[in-house]
Amino acid sequence: MASKKVAPDLDINTEEKIKNAARAVFHKKGFAATRTRDIAEEAGINLALLNYYFRSKEKLFNLIMMETFSGFIKSIVVIFNDETTSLENKVESIASAYIDLLIMEPQIPLFIMSEIRSHPDQLLKTINAKNIITNSAFARQYQQGVKEGKIAPVNILHFIMNLLGLTIFPFIASPMIQVIGDLKEGQFNKLMTERKKMIPKWAKEILKTK
């Protein structure tokens, strides 16, 4: 039995090689700026093979987009719907999970936000809208906190925007941040790691602010 390979796709099948290459290139350049030839080259295969396996650039893109987007959303949904954790716990988990993910794959948020601009439907299919939020344990705990006077009576959407903004925005703006802060290799990720501990503290104060 072959050993699990973490590193490059040496002995995995061609279909997987193409998908991995497509993911990398699409994430980096977006749909419109990506040429199928780029993907083929990245995968170390011939252009014709790409169409043999996936029929078209668009079909391949849709596949990658769906996988990336649902993976990105799933993290939130799972954490938000955990009945066994406190609101504070959920905030910590979100910050921690996303920062870990985004240190590994920093292009994901910009990729998703950019492509949604041109394929807005993709989004609506994958998410089943308000239910995710309206019916989550997270929302119930938030409203409960408001009722008990522990949380300021502010629209929960503000808090969600705040939490995601604090967590995700730095990765979207990283080229600007790195220039503004004159950061060297690795310093950016060090800052992001610091934020895993800071964001829950900031969020806690935000929750109390009227």
Instruction: Name the site residues for its own copies (rule: CB under 8 A).
Output: 28-33, 107, 110, 113-114, 116-118, 120, 123-124, 127, 129-130, 132-134, 154-155, 157-158, 160-162, 164-166, 168-170, 172-173, 175-177, 179-182, 191, 194-195, 198, 201-202, 205-206, 208-210
Q: Which is nearer to its own copies, 17 or 172 (CB)?
A: 172
Provide the H-helix boundaries in the chain: 14-33, 36-43, 47-54, 57-80, 87-104, 108-118, 120-126, 131-134, 137-147, 156-172, 174-180, 187-208
CB of 94 to its own copies, least distance (A): 14
Question: 47 touches which of its own copies, DNA, none (CB within 5 to 8 A by kind)?
Answer: DNA
Cα–Cα distance for residue pair 133/14, rounded to 1 Å: 39
CB of 126 to its own copies, least distance (A): 10
Other C-beta atoms within 10 Å of 59: how many? 11
Other C-beta atoms within 10 Å of 195: how many? 16
Cα–Cα distance for residue pair 126/69, rounded to 1 Å: 8
From residue 9 to residue 28, the character string flagging contacts with DNA as x (rule: CB under 7 A) and all else as - is -----x--------------
Which positions from 54 through 73 interact with DNA, judged by CB under 7 A?
A: 55-58
